[in-house]
Structure 1
Amino acid sequence: MASAGLRREKYLLTLGIVRVLDERYVVLPRPGPVLQMILTNLRNRPLSSTNMDSMCKSILSLYHSLVTGSKDFPLISFKGFFRSLQTTTPFVRTKQSRRENTTPSPFTGAPAGMIVRTATSSSSPPNMLTPVLPEKTELGALKADRRNSVRNMEFDGSTVTRVISTVYRSESTELTNRWRVTDYGANGHVLMSVLCQFTKKSAQYAVTPRQEKRKDTEEECSSQSPSKKRLRL
C-alpha cells in the first residue's frame, strides 16, 4: 500500500489546436482552442521529455472518448502546438543515470486482477482500479482484456505499443475522465505508465453534449411509448 506521504510526479499538458485536419472530428466540442490535461506518473522513475512528447498524439483521442464515450481512441491529426509543465516531482535534481529506480511502484506491484490506487491525502481522488499491466508486455493477454485499447505507434523512428486502459471506482463502476496510458518498448518492457485526467475547464465542455444526447434519447423513447388508457369510473 502506498504510504500516506507519497508524492507523485505530475505534469500539466497543454494542447493548442489551430485546426483539426481530420474532417470527421472538426465538430468535436472544445472549450476554445486549448485543451489541458493533468498527467500523474505511476512509476518510481521520472518521466522523460520523450514520454511527454509522445502524449501529444493521444490527448485528442482521450478527449474524443470523454465526449462520445467511445473506447476506440482514434488518432486525430491536427495543426497546433504542445507543451508540458512539470508541477510536482519527488525526484531530486540529479543526473538521469542516478535517478533511475526500476523497483515497481505499488501500482505495478499489486497482485493479479485489479490494481488499487490508494488516496494519499484528504484532497486526493477515491481509490481507483485499472486492469493489471505487466512489467513485460504480453500482447495476447492485453488485447484479450476489453478494458484495454492496444495499438502500435511511431515515436522518433521507434515503434511503441501503447495501451489505454479504463479506470474504475469499483469493479463494476467506470470513472469518467480517467485513463491509464502505458507504453511498452521494442524489448517488451514498460517505458511509462501514467494516469490522465482533463482539467475541470476542459472537461466541462465535454460532459454537456453527452448529457444532452442522453436526454434527447430518453425524450424520444418516452414519446414513442404507448400512452396508458384511462379507466372509466
Structure 2
Amino acid sequence: MAFAGFFREKHLLSIGITRVQEPFGCMPIPGKGLQLIVTNLRNRPLCESDILSMCDFILSLYHNLLTGSKDYPFISFDGVFLSDEVVSPFPSSQSENNPPSPLTEAPAGVMVPPAGSSPPNMLTPVLPERTELGVLRADRRNYFCDLELDGTTVTRFISPVYSSECTELTNRWRVTDYSEDGHLCMSVLCQFPKKVAQFARPPRPEKRKYTEESSSSSSSSSQSPPKKRLRL
C-alpha cells in the first residue's frame, strides 16, 4: 500500500554521447544523449558508486527498449555522464531502517515493490533482503552479471516489471545488486522519460477508414469514361 505524501529518492541520470562503440554504432538515439530516471527502492540513500555503476547500463536498458532483447549487452560509448538528485526524502544522516530478513531459500512468484514506487500497481519477481544467489540466477526472468564495485564483487540482476494483470511493462526495469553472500546491496526502479520511450517505439501505421463515399469514388474511377456523341 502506498502512503500519502510518501516520496522515494529519485535521480535523473544523463549521458552525452559523441560515439557509440561497435557493433552498436548505428543504434538510433534521440539527439546526442539519453536520460534515465532511477527510483531508489531501499530505505537508505544510494551511494556514489551505486549511481556511477548505473552509467554503464543506460545503453543496455535502451537496447532492450529498442529491440526487446533480454541479453542486456554491455555497450561502451565516448561522452560524458551526469547525475542529478531530483527527490531526496532522507535527512543528511540516514541509516538502513529495514531489519535484515531471514535467508530465503526459494523466492517465487511476484511481489509488490515498496510504497512510493511508480506505477503503484506494479509487480516484480521476488528479490528478498537475503537469499541464495543460485536461486535468483535460476529464475529465467532475471538477467544477471558480476560487477566490481568499491573493490568488492556484486551480482547485478535486471528484472522485468509487470502490471497488476501480470503483463510485462515496457520501459520499466528493476535493477538489484547482491553481495557474494547473498545480501541485497541496492535495488532501483528504472525508466526512460516519455520522449525517449516515444522515440524508441516504432510508429504504428495509420488505419484507413473504409466508407461508402470512398467505395463509390473508387468504383466510379474504375469505370471507363462515357463516350462522346457526335453532333450533326
TM range (shorter): 0.7 to 0.9
Count of residue pairs brought into register by the alignment: 199
Q: When the two structures are superposed, what TM-score results if normalisation uses the length of structure 2?
A: 0.78
Match of 2:3 in 1: 3
> Take 2:164 and 2:67, find their aligned partners in 1: how far apart are those partners?
22
Moved over 6 A (4+): none
Bigger helix fraction: 1
User: Deviation at 1:112?
Assistant: 5.5
| Alignment-mate amino acid for residue 128 of structure 2 | P
Please state if 1:150 is matched with 2:144. yes
Equivalent pair of 2:16/2:33 in contact (CA under 8 Å): yes
**Structure 2 unaligned runs (5+)?**
101-106, 206-232
Aligned match of 1:89: 88
- The answer for the alignment partner of 2:40 in structure 1 is 41
CA drift of 1:132 comes to: 0.4
Distance in 2 between residues matched to 1:103 and 1:117, nearest whole Å: 14
User: 1:114, CA displacement in angstroms?
Assistant: 1.4
Q: Tell me the equivalent position of 1:222.
A: none
Deviations 1:137-156 (A, max 9, x none): 42221122111101112234
Decide whether the 8 Å contact of 1:118 with 1:126 is kept in 2. no
Q: Structure 1: how far apart are the matches of 2:197 and 2:99? A: 31
Which of residues 169, 178, 186 is equivalent to 1:175? 169
Please name the residue that 2:98 is paired with.
103
Q: TM-score, normalised by structure 1?
A: 0.78
When Rg is computed on C-alpha atoms for both structures, the one with the higher figure is 2
Q: Which amino acid aligns with 1:25?
A: F
Distance 1:181 1:172, change over 3 A: same
Query: C-alpha distance in 2, partners of 1:47/1:80?
Result: 24
Kindly provide the CA deviation profile for residues 65-93 of structure 1, in whole angstroms up to 9, marking residues without a partner as x.
00000110001111111111101011012
Identity between Structure 1 and Structure 2 (%): 60
Residue 18 of structure 1: aligned partner: 18
Deviations 1:112-159 (A, max 9, x none): 5311147859xx534100000121242221122111101112234432
Shift of 1:47: 0.6
- Residue type of the partner of 1:14? S
Whole-angstrom distance in 1 between the partners of 2:116 and 2:137: 31
Q: Residue 12 of structure 1 aligns to a residue in which SS?
A: strand
What do you get for the CA RMSD once the two structures are aligned?
A: 2.3
Counterpart CA distance in 2 for 1:187 and 1:84 is: 30
Matches within 5 A, 1:1-233: 1-21=1-21, 23-94=22-93, 99-103=94-98, 113-117=109-113, 125-170=119-164, 172-208=166-202
Residues 5 and 17 of structure 1: CA distance in aligned 2, closer, same or farther (over 3 Å): same
Q: Which residue of structure 1 aligns with residue 211 of structure 2?
A: none
Amino acid at match of 1:129: L
Cα distance, 1:45 vs. partner?
0.6
Letter matched to residue 36 of structure 2: M
CA distance in 1, matches of 2:30, 2:131: 36
> Would you say the 8 A contact 2:8–2:116 is kept in 1?
no
Unaligned runs of 5+ in 1: 106-110, 216-233
Structure 2 residue identity aligned to 1:203: A
